[in-house]
Structure formats: structure tokens, C-alpha cells
Structure 1
Amino acid sequence: MNLIRIAQLALGAFVISVSFHARAQDGGAASATVEASKPAWKSSSKADDRALRRRVLTALGKAKGLRATGITVRATDGAVLLEGWVPEEAQIEQAARVTQGVPGVKSVRNALTLSTF
């Protein structure tokens, strides 16, 4: 019985180690392929995305009548995703309008929900 249990644990450990190794190699190869296929003029760096995200969050925080504490912002190549919640229905559309006015924003996808708690 103990021999079977030891064999099962050894096999499980082997499968896990192989999957980690395969995942690490696939991720690196895929990244290199994607980066190589992007034209230099179209690539956006993570720093650019973070800067855009900060500008959007700042604009949302300064907007009068908008409670932005429940809003999460994701930015990729000028496309902004608004997620989270706001306490009033009118603030959902207001958040999208404010975001669209931020320099560098190309598109806004609004996935905000209403939460009254």
C-alpha cells in the first residue's frame, strides 16, 4: 500500500515538474513571436499603458460628482477597460465620457455596474 502511494506521489511530482517546464518554454516562445511580428510604430510598452491608466484614474478622481473608488482601469494600446462599480446609474456614463476625454485614449469599453451598498 505504501509503495503504491509513493509511486503515485512520484508520478504526480513528475507531471507537475514537466508541466511547469513546458509552460515556461511556451510562454517565452510565444512572447518572442508576438514581439517580432509587431511593427515598431504600433507597439505599446507597458510603461505607456501604465501612464495612460494613471491619467485615466486621475481624471476619474477629479471628476465632479463621480465616485471613482470602485472603478478599476485597464489600458492596452490606447484601449481602456473600465470595470468595477459606481453608486449611481448616471455615473456609469459619466465615467465613460471622462475617460474618452483623456489624451491617448482611443476606445473605451465600459463594464461598470451599479452597486448601492
Structure 2
Amino acid sequence: MKSVAFLKTLTAVACVTVACSVYAQDNSAASGAAAATAAAPAAAAPTSSKKVDRKLGYSVRKALSRTQGIDVSNITVRSHNGAVSLTGSVPAQAQIDKAGEVAQGVAGVKSVSNKLTVMQQ
């Protein structure tokens, strides 16, 4: 019976210790949050870079869809810092060449990685 009471007391002490340490971590996290807020302007740059990449990819996709003779239903366009990657499949080799030329002609495109393949449909 004494061992059960001892274990209950030990458990209660452990719970109080954990609760106090959690409270202490919460206070230190608040000062860390202030430092993270100060670094927020530096974190804004990747977000705007993502927006620029997304807009460039959209512009290339739009140019491809407006071009006569290119089937864009199986083409994926990705962009990163002006480098555009075309992946997927098209029905003819001529469409692969034309898609590369169209993508290179879009404003803001620095390079094109044309990984399109021919797949008979």
C-alpha cells in the first residue's frame, strides 16, 4: 500500500515538473517569436519569387495554348528563376520543336528545357 502511495506522489511531482518546464519554454518561445518577426522581411523574398515563377509558367502555358498546331493537353510547364521546363507528351515531333520555340519567345524566359516526348494517341 505504501508503494502505491509513493508512485502516486512520484507521478504528481513529475506532472508538476513537466508543467513548469512547459511554461518556461513558452516564455522563451515568445522572445524567439520576436526574432522571427524581425526576420519576416527576408522571408518575403521567396514568396515573391514563387509568384514570379508561377506567373511566368502561366504566360508560357497561355502562349502554347494560343499557338496553332500544339496539343497542350498533356504538357506540363514549370519555371524557376526564368528557366522553363516543358514535360509531357505530344502526338508529333514537330509539336515538340514548335513548343520549345514558343516557350523561348515568351518575355522573361532565360532558358528552356524541352523534355517533351512523342506519344501516338
Task: Give the TM-score band, short-chain normalised.
Answer: 0.5 to 0.7
Structure 1, unaligned stretches of length 5 or more? 1-31
Structure 2, unaligned stretches of length 5 or more? 1-38
Q: 1:62 corresponds to which residue? A: 66
| Conserved? CA contact 1:52–1:104, under 8 Å | yes
Q: 2:20 corresponds to which residue? A: none
- Picking from 87, 93, 98, the partner of 2:91 is 87
Any idea what SS the aligned residue of 2:103 has?
A: helix
TM-score by length of 1: 0.63
Deviations 1:60-96 (A, max 9, x none): 0000111111100010000000000001110001000
Q: How many residues are matched?
A: 79
Deviations 1:37-57 (A, max 9, x none): xxx8xx961000000000000
Q: 2:78 corresponds to which residue? A: 74
TM-score by length of 2: 0.61
| Distance (Å, rounded) in 1 between the aligned partners of 2:48 and 2:119 | 34
Letter in structure 2 aligned against 1:50: R
Give the 5 Å matches for 1:17-56.
45-56=49-60
Identity of aligned residues (%): 51
Give the 5 Å matches for 1:91-110.
91-110=95-114
- Structure having the larger proportion of residues in helix: 2
| Distance (Å, rounded) in 2 between the aligned partners of 1:87 and 1:101 | 22
